[in-house]
Chains A and B, each alone.
Chain A
Amino acid sequence: MATQDVGAGPRPSPAPAPAPFRITGTRELMLRLPRASPLVRLVSLSSRLTGCASRRERALLGAAAGVHHGRGTEGRETGKTLLWLPLSGAKMRNVFEVMLLLLLLLLPLVTAHAGGQPNSPPGKPVLTSCRSPEKETFTCWWKPGSDGGLSTKHSLFYRKESSDAVHECPDYRTAGENSCFFNKNNTAIWVNYNITVVATNSLGSAYSDPVEVDVVYIVQPNPPENVTVSVMEDKGWPFLRVSWEPPRKADTRSGWITLVYELRVKLKEEDDWETHLAGQQKMFNILSLPSGGEYQVEVRCRPDHGFWSEWSSTSKANVPHHFRRDNSTWILMTVFFAFTFLIVAWLLHLNRHNLKRCILPPVPGPKIKGFDKKLLKSGKSNEIFSALVVPDYPSTPSSNYEDLLVDYLEVYVPTERELQLEESKDPHDDRLKSDSSTSDSDSGRGSCDSHTLLVDKEAKEEARQAECGQTRTEVQRSLKDWDALTYAQIDMVGRDVPSGRVKTWPSLYSPLPRHSSGPLDQQSSLQMAKQHSLSTSSFLAQEASGESYWDVCSHGELPRPLRAKTPPHRGLRARSDADVSGAGLKRAPAGPRSLAPHTSEYVEVQRVNNKDVVLLQPVVTGCYQALPGEVYSKVKRVDSDNILLLQREAREEDGYPGAEQENTTQKASACVYAAVLVQDQMAPMVNGYVDTATMCTLTC
């Protein structure tokens, strides 16, 4: 408080206490008012004092008047208001009066200030929140502002969206202090409420900021109720089962509200909760309980589009202590097993070679001589197999295969002597007796022995020696039988056949067994001859030690001799001790048999008589010499009448084969070449062999 000595005025003694105002030397009146005291409206006073209130004064006073109660020191800094009022010295008495008046005025204010609430219009209330617990009702709360020292009344007004009517809150009490409760009748959903709170007191009213509320967005249900926790056991492991119910007021049964729940659990002594989301269900199992003790559980809920409720009251449960067979035990066991495993693996590693030998024994490789694994890998089969080939296996035949082929047949013709002998022995012997003594034991004729070809070298000799004339056979039979006997046709060389057909079959004739003896019926002999010829047909004589020959001697007119000639080397050995003769009429008494056994004799067809009988006669030995080159060993073809056309063997002389038939006339000699046997040329025949049986069937 600075005072200034201006004039000659008496120096005022320093004031013992600061007076509310002082009069300074200048003509200024300084009024100091207490800080918190409201200002007195001094406009009228000051204007009265000075007559003209300066603008500044008026502003100050106005500002002071406009300050709200309780707003603090707005517009006022020091609590001091200075009023400088210009004063004239002449009016000092008036000043004094003014001061007294001021004092009088200030006093009640001061006393009033020291005593109770200052009067001011209420402060602005604030709407804090509006909530609806079940989407059917809602409540709004506000926070009142300062009441201005007077009794302030708050009222809530609302206006619905589409109407302009303003309504007041129907219920201020239900929800407590500073609240407004809207019951079901007053609650409309999907409608915006414009809510305002007004605070009024005697001095004025204050309006809060309006708030737009749609009930459906402000739903916050009550906490769930009846939360029960029970301890249950699953395979010796305890767990908690929590169940609850939705808050009573929320209507979930009709689907009006859909609630979602959440719970939290902790041990009593812990601080952190473990939360679980339970969805819409009303029961939950807590499985992961670390240990025993007392557990605390709380549940809360929330609508699908709304706010979380408060946590329910805590439910407690005591879980018995259980052996914590989880973490530490498993860790120990794992470590132990890992350690053991490492040791075992190390041991195995050290002994891997032994183990390898034990578990996977070496597989023996292929030990084939000449087998080369590398060649096999290279994949060239030719080289592999050529390496495998042992030089001298298989044994290749030095000669060619043709040696193995039997291409001729030996027909054995028994000599007269033999026939006689045999006849004497047993005239009615079965002709089928095989002549084992004279048979050759080899040359691949195994089964052909008995009724088959009988090769006899000795017989050949004897046959040679036998006179042609002695043995005569008159073959008298039908052509058919002749077919049966032989099956080769020998071309006549320059012969005229009276009947036009000459058939001689010396070559492939299977002779009857040698010791067939006795006068035989021609037919039976022929039959035997058939049999022989059967076997003959399949038979190829290897041995060509003699000529194949016949000896058929026939009596009577035999205009033409037919010579059967076979090469000496490979010949047909016909051996027949059968009576090939015909009716045996003209048998030589000496020799019932016409055929010469064992001898190579030539058969000559003398004639073919009217009865279609070929009469044979022994051939002059001059014709003996076989032309070595002329070997008729191949059958060229078979005529329809079962006539075999023989041809010269192609092997020895080429070019000949076909010529034979044409050149028959050229031959000077009447030799007829006996055909040698068989094979492939007889295509129509079975297997290439001449099957006399079939021939017989064909012709018979």
Chain B
Amino acid sequence: MKSLALNILDIVQNSIRARANEITIRITESSEEDIYTIEIRDNGSGIPDGIIDNVTDPFVTTRTTRKIGMGLPLLRHHAELTGGSLKIKSKEGMGTEIKATFSFRHLDRQPLGDITGVLKIIIAANPGIDFIYNHLTDKGEYSFSTRETKEYLETDSLYENSLLDDIAGMIGENLKGIGATGFDYRGNV
């Protein structure tokens, strides 16, 4: 994966497949403390007890379309390359929390990349899921929620290309405002 945003897109797929209806993505970055973390939390089915200890082994997957699962092993690999780690907490029937910790300054840490584009497509493709995106830097914090946005706009659907682009633009402006690093900024109109 070329960027952290693509890793996030992939990890969120696990939550979608686990039938979550609320998924929270939280990024915390601090160059001062040399730390960059990504947390993804869902209220889906949880990881079965029998496999939780082994999910970062590529030969562990519950899917039937193919025999290896690569998402979590890849994320763990990327985190460990920077001296960081991957932690997974999950309870069957309750949900799952994934936390990847990276060194902020390590050369092997991928940049965040196109996070607003990733949010655009997961929002478009999953109208039944509430997404919360939270980003914390040394300078400040920004939070976005699809539910809050729908309520504010008095609409039950955000599925419209120009609206989604505006939402992506809005998130980008705010990330710029708090000095988030490494994301592809596409100025909005």
A, B bound: no
B contacts, CB < 8 Å to A = none
